[in-house]
Amino acid sequence: MLRRSSQFALQTRKKSSLALPKTAPITRKSQDEVEIAQAPNRVATWSPSQSSKDRIIKTNVRFVGKDLTKQPNPQAAIDLIAQQPIRYIHNNIAVCSGTDIFQGHPKVYINLDKDMPGTCGYCGLRYAREELKDKLKLYKAKEPLAVITAHDYITGRIADSSEKMDIILIGDSLAMVSKGYASTLEIPFDDYYYACKSVLRGVNQKFVIADLPFGSFEASVSQCVESAVKLMKLGKIGSLKIEGGYEHGEQIKRLIEIGIPVTGHIGLKPQQFNAAGGYRVQGKKARDAANIIEEAQYLRDIGCSMLVLECIPHKVAQYLTEKLDIPTIGIGSGPGTSAQVLVQADLLGMLDSPTAKFVQKYMDFHSEAVNAIDRYVEDVKSGSFPNIESHSYPIKEEEFEAMQKILQRDH
């Protein structure tokens, strides 16, 4: 029913965390085994290609009888670099030369399409798009993020015009609320693709997540990549959302390998509602709840940068959010997630059909629209619309008389 980012992600999985790398603690084991620290701020090596300073000094004849206090002992650059703040820029390509004053290394071009900071391979400085700054601050401060769907140009413009809105999701729910299908399973990929183009024409400021609709990725990894690349080439999309977990692991891993951020979706999976016995709350039993948490951890570990949690008990959603180090987007999963999302058509009351328990309607657009149309019809039939003074364009009397003469002459 729903529908990712990117963020946005706003924080990456462990191996690409936005948090600063931590100095390795001096454990009892390391104190016993390492007498000479690798650096003043690092006990042991931090790279597989690095040689142990402790081992070299103990075994290399060059250091026999030497006063080690007079040997160079610089701090580990990895921690010094990590203390540098993320540098935010206004486009998707960062150019790093190691310093703002003079060229410290050859220029490196860093792709920032992912919903996470990019790191320079030479010096380790980190860069990110400016639009991620506020989302990152909110997530780190544990302030809830707001997400809303959009299904065409108008709803895209409405969502983008809200200064308070954080993320826009082009959900496959548009199949039902915009295209009139009975379920999200029925919409062809091309229909969804053209809806995305329409939404994106109305969005210029917000982080955007888009779905991979049913039938566009399940058959094979190559089908998934083909569909994903086609959507990403539209521009403005920061993350793609895939419903499912273990069963789509290879597809998810491949997208991340080629640089496409993925938002996972677990709990109720509307694209699989037939197998689930309908649109039901998931995770109400202990084993089922544990399965959801394990699946979430799996998706985090393979690289998902955000997770949608749909229709799971609020305690399970909160527990999972506290355990993971990536943002969670809840729908029908209580207030304990990192973000909340609603379908814009439900939120605005665009349809006259019943909505789910978790939906909060903030206006009755459908009733107000019908009433407005009825008033328009009444004005037309009564002759009060259009009004000559307010709604019509004049012509000078002499020009009108001249027109009549031209017509008489022509005939």
CA angle 67–73–78, rounded 5-degree value: 160
CB 297 within 8 Å of CB 309: no
Distances (CA, A) of 298 to 167, 305, 401: 24, 12, 81
State the Cα–Cα distance between residues 292 and 266, nearest whole angstrom: 7
pLDDT band at residue 3 using 50, 70 and 90 as cut-offs: very low
Residue 407 pLDDT exceeds 50: yes
Residue 159 pLDDT exceeds 80: yes
Pairing between β-strand 93-96 and β-strand 108-111 as defined by DSSP bridges: antiparallel
Q: Could you tell me what percent of the chain has a pLDDT over 70? A: 79
To which residue do tokens 């997530």 refer?
139
Looking at per-residue confidence, does 84 or 227 come out higher? 227
Looking at per-residue confidence, does 259 or 141 come out higher? 259
The catalytic site residues sit at 310
pLDDT at 134: 62
Domain ranges across the chain? 21-79, 135-363, 366-410
CB atoms within 10 A of CB 148: 23
Helix (H) or strand (E) holding 153: helix 153-161
User: Mean pLDDT score of the chain, rounded to an integer?
Assistant: 84
This prediction's pTM: 0.70
Lowest mean pLDDT among 78-87, 178-187, 226-235: 78-87
Name the token pair of 298: 């799996």
CB atoms within 10 A of CB 366: 16
* Strand runs labelled E in 38-180: 87-89, 93-96, 108-111, 118-119, 126-129, 145-149, 167-170
pLDDT at 20: 33
Peptide bond into 386 cis (omega under 30): yes
Sequence letter at residue 381: K
pLDDT at 114: 63
State the Cα–Cα distance between residues 357 and 200, nearest whole angstrom: 30
Strand partners, 148: 168, 342
CB 18 within 8 Å of CB 117: yes
CA atoms within 13 A on the CB side of 402: 5
Name residues whose C-beta falls within 8 Å of residue 26's C-beta, 6 or more positions apart in sequence.
Answer: 43
Region 217-221: mean pLDDT is: 96
Q: In terms of residues, how long is the chain?
A: 411
pLDDT band at residue 106 using 50, 70 and 90 as cut-offs: confident
Sequence letter at residue 70: K
State the Cα–Cα distance between residues 263 and 240, nearest whole angstrom: 6
Q: 135-363: what CATH class?
A: alpha beta
Measure CA of the first residue to CA of the last residue in the chain; give whole Å.
65
CB 152 within 8 Å of CB 199: yes
